[in-house]
Chains A and B, each alone.
Chain A
Amino acid sequence: MYLTGDFHEMQAAATAILELKANRFSLDDLTVYSDEPVEFPRGVLDRTSRMSLAAVLGAITFLLLATSFVYFTQRSYPLVTGGMPLFSFWATGVIFYEMTMLGAIVVTFVWFLRESGIFPRRNRGPAPAVEPGWICLRVRCEPNQMAEVTHWLNRAGASGVKKIGEAE
């Protein structure tokens, strides 16, 4: 089951998160919903992201693909132009550069869809409605932990603790 608490201040929400983490709730159980991105201090809600690495790998992949494509297509139908060599790195370097960038772009977008849970669609539980300017902290807990969670949320300053949805 899920409990939500609404906070007006980032600091209050941060306190609640830290308290819950200290009481053996994992980061996977905690989700913050808001209308704007909330800048928590380091150590509060750090999620691992491998987007940069993915972008770099995507860029390198596209670079290799582009290089082989240009090389093999020019070899398959060799036509001499302007006395230039048939396969010239510098004459086609721009294309490699652009394709590298395209790789980074495409992979960044795809990874964004993946990391945000949009595609492939992952069921991450019910999403509470959030008023603009408010921060809503959603905690996944067992029914026997309900009282404990409510206690921590209220102590941090939540303005309303509600139960939402059933755990799916």
Chain B
Amino acid sequence: MSGEQHKPEHRWGMAIDLDRCTGCQACVAACHAENNLPVSTPDSAAKGRAVHWMRVDRYYEGEFPDIRVKYMPVLCQQCDEAPCEPVCPVYATYKNPEGLNVQVYNRCVGTLYCGNNCPYSVRYFNWFAPEWDAPLPLQHNPDVFVRMVGVMEKCTFCIQRIRRGKDEAKSEGRPLTDGDIQPACVQSCPAEAMVFGDLNDPESKVSRWAQSGRSTRLLEELGAKPKVFYLQRAK
């Protein structure tokens, strides 16, 4: 890791159109499959221990029969000034040059401070060693770690897909194009409500969506500078 200050080539971001989201949770399921997320039992879910790097929050407004439901897929916002980073005593989480808030599983000691300081509550802890009923372990993604007990984890913007995309582009001798890399959630959304790409590229879809009039960010007033943009009609 060099300390050179050069402008990074990419700055990954995501935009989610809440007006298109149907709350189907295909993104949740895709994330589970892609990232070897542990499957919870009814017991552990009841104890609040279910792990969903991508989760869909549901908010209900109004009284029956005039109920409106708002769906909000919440994932790690990959903040530019992430509050979770400075409080980790062992540098298990820090910002990499491409703007990703990386989590180093090997290094995590499990002080759980980062989880407390995340205002979006998107950090998940391995309370026990993760288990899968057979034959699920056969489905594991070989590009992704299987985490151990006592380690914090969260959405990585499918960093393994980012790396694969960059490697493929490099080996084919062409630059990365917008849409080459899609995290599992973005890929699986049937309503095409999510886009992912390079915020450094002003022509990319994510940059254009981020600059739309409907673009907001979650808990923006905290100044964490999240890189997930939520598009919704003004309230």
Contact between A and B in the complex (any CB pair below 8 Å): yes
Cα distance A45–B84 when bound, in Å? 60
Stretch at the interface among B17-25, B52-60, B88-96, B175-183: B88-96
Is A83 part of the contact surface with B, judged by Cβ < 8 Å? yes
Give chain B residues whose Cβ lies under 8 Å from the Cβ of A77: 1
Minimum C-beta distance from B105 to chain A (A): 16
Closest to A91 in B: B86
Size class of B's contact patch? 10 to 19
Give chain A residues whose Cβ lies under 8 Å from the Cβ of B88: 81
Interface residues in chain B, defined as those with a beta carbon under 8 Å from any beta carbon in chain A: 1, 3, 80-86, 88, 91, 93-95, 225
Give chain B residues whose Cβ lies under 8 Å from the Cβ of A81: 82, 85-86, 88, 91, 93-95
Say whether A75 contacts B3, CB under 8 Å: yes
Say whether B81 contacts A82, CB under 8 Å: yes
Cα distance A86–B91 when bound, in Å? 12
Give chain A residues whose Cβ lies under 8 Å from the Cβ of B225: 83
Cα distance A91–B89 when bound, in Å? 13
Interface size on A, residues (CB 8 A): 11
Is A94 part of the contact surface with B, judged by Cβ < 8 Å? no
Is A147 part of the contact surface with B, judged by Cβ < 8 Å? no
Interface of B, secondary structure class, is loop
Interface of A, secondary structure class, is loop
Cα distance A159–B106 when bound, in Å? 75
Partner of B1 from the list A78, A83, A91 (CB cut-off 8 Å) is: A78
Say whether A82 contacts B1, CB under 8 Å: no
Interface residues in chain A, defined as those with a beta carbon under 8 Å from any beta carbon in chain B: 75, 77-84, 86, 91
Give chain A residues whose Cβ lies under 8 Å from the Cβ of B1: 77-79
Closest to B82 in A: A82
Minimum C-beta distance from B96 to chain A (A): 8
Cα distance A91–B85 when bound, in Å? 13
Cα distance A77–B84 when bound, in Å? 19
Cα distance A3–B92 when bound, in Å? 69
Given A83-B80, A83-B81 in contact, is the A78-B3 Cβ separation under 8 Å?
yes
